[in-house]
Amino acid sequence: MTVNPVVAVAQGRVRGSETDGVLAFRGIPYAAAPVGVHRFTAPAPAPAWDGVRDALAYGPTAPAAPLAPSLKQLLESPAIAGEEYLNLNVWTPAAGAGRRPVLVWIHGGAFVNGSGAVSHYDGSKFARDGIVCVTINYRLGAEGFLLVDGAPANRGLLDQIAALQWVRDNIAAFGGDPGAVTVAGESAGAMSVTTLLSMPAAEGLFHRAITQSGAGHTVLAATAAANVTTTLAERLGVKATAEGFAAVPPVELVAAQPAVADEIAAEPDPTVGDEPLPQILPFAPVVDGQILTARPIDRLGAGASAGIDVLTGTNADEMALFSVPSGAIDAVGDHALAAKLAALGADPAVMLAAYRQARPDATPGELLTSVMTDWFMRVPAVRVAEARLAHGADTYVYQFDWPSPKFDGRLGACHTLEIGFAFDQLDTPGSQAMTGPNPPQTVADEMHRAWVSFITTGDPGWAPYGHDRTVRRLNEHSQTVTDPDAAQRRTWDRIL
């Protein structure tokens, strides 16, 4: 008879499950439910319980905005009802039997959706390879990131810090080493990780970092965040205060967010430069002057987290996820392309010359997808590596190149595609929705092995980014190159 494993944590005992030698504990609260008196506050400690609590299934997920219709066929978005959604999941080779390195994964989802319960976030393959893997939930959208009078800013980031504190205090019971924690994430999760690298409140809670498709420019200025707050309050007919928003049920607050995003997106583009367009991520970390004192890229440029090794990178065709399934890629003409480049602060003729030279047969929509990939993803990751290089900090840079066959191959190596490869979970529904059947296991073998090596030793297996701009390109014929796509990169030198 199989006896389910039981582990004691600070709040009480939890009962997990075992599959193929890996122990899993799901849905463990790391903070109090963010409802009632705990809504719009900093995370409070999770209450204790008597007896043994079952940790056999994923816990509730945070209230989340719906996915765009064009993305529903590609992105998995579990929704599990319940108030106790500040919870986490742990996979381990064996409880209390060693001091293994730890991976803490922060999910993406544009800060408005996502959870730690996505199928290809299953950490069992990391546990198989000797790593204790943790995935977390955190407050999303207005609940987590709206700038509100009478409430702490960046509550979603504070949740992430609370989860890391829980890991520090409890992970040894699962066989993990609290002194060897790597924090990782993708998209909004990677932006969160880069932000945590810049925050004094997160110091000492992790020792390495992995950022996949997200970097250090994606925060809002307080003025932009205040505009989002005012717009949402006016739509809901409440005062723009913690008391006013607390009177709105979470489901109604979530329901109002897409319309607010659409309203803000319809506003004229502000000047780009010191911050990304709030039209893209209206609910995002905000430079509030207390919890977050500056843009993460600026804090890294001043030497923050120079003692922490970082692995960062992007996918070759990131923004195809948003332009191809929606059909937007085919609606772009030459005039719209030039106008968008000018709005980004570029000289359209100079930038188009560089991108057309690399892709002479590309349509205007395909060129815009490449430009937006570099503006929002690739170049910000390069800037992180450059900022850290100035302080002698090791940063390892990759580019994921394997193209999905979906949409007749036009999806390419798009945003989120690499996650199933990094987790070695290509057979899960969430991964196969992106890859289609029979993706190359050899690419997953290499990428997962590099991630395991970095988490364990701080070295993924190629040279760190230096003045020669070393990048590892991951695909079926991976190679280490220097300064890839240099002409396109240089067009951003006075913009980002």
What ranges do the domains of the chain cover?
6-222+282-301, 312-417+426-490
Q: Are 183 and 209 in contact (CB under 8 A)?
A: yes
Do 389 and 465 form a contact (C-beta atoms < 8 A)? yes
Distance CA 315, CA 277 (A): 21
| Non-local CB neighbours of 234 within 8 Å, separated by 6+ positions | none
Task: Give the strand pairing for 87-92 and 132-136.
Answer: antiparallel
Question: Residues 218-257: pLDDT tens digits?
Answer: 999 999 999 999 999 999 999 999 999 999 999 999 999 9
Point out the catalytic residue in the list 318, 366, 418, 446. 318
Residues of the chain with pLDDT under 70: 1-2, 268-278
The C-alpha atoms of residue 147 and residue 129 are separated, in whole angstroms, by: 41
- C-alpha 386/C-alpha 346 separation (Å) is 21
Q: Give the model's pLDDT for residue 268.
A: 60
Is residue 318 annotated as part of the catalytic site, yes or no? yes
Please name the residue that has the structure tokens 């990304």.
Answer: 276
Q: What is the pLDDT of residue 490?
A: 97
Rounded to the nearest 10°, the torsion over CA 51, 91, 305, 226 is -70
- In sequence order, what are the residues at sequence separation of 6 or more whose Cβ sits closer than 8 angstroms to the Cβ of residue 270? 224, 277, 278
Q: Which of 107, 120, 415, 448 is catalytic?
A: 415
**Catalytic site includes residue 415:** yes
CATH superfamily of 6-222+282-301: Alpha/Beta hydrolase fold, catalytic domain (3.40.50.1820)
Exposed e or buried b for every residue in 28-45, given b needs 16+ CB within 10 A? bbbbbbbeeeebbbbbee
User: Residue 90's pLDDT is what?
Assistant: 98
Q: What's the confidence (pLDDT) of residue 222? A: 94
Q: In this predicted structure, what is the pLDDT of residue 271?
A: 39
Q: Which of 77, 115, 124, 187 is catalytic?
A: 187
Name 8's bridge partners.
13
Closest CA to 159 of 300, 283, 62: 62
What pTM value is reported for the model?
0.97
Burial label, 166 (beta-carbon count in 10 A; 0-12, 13-18, 19+) = buried
Whether 234 is catalytic:
no
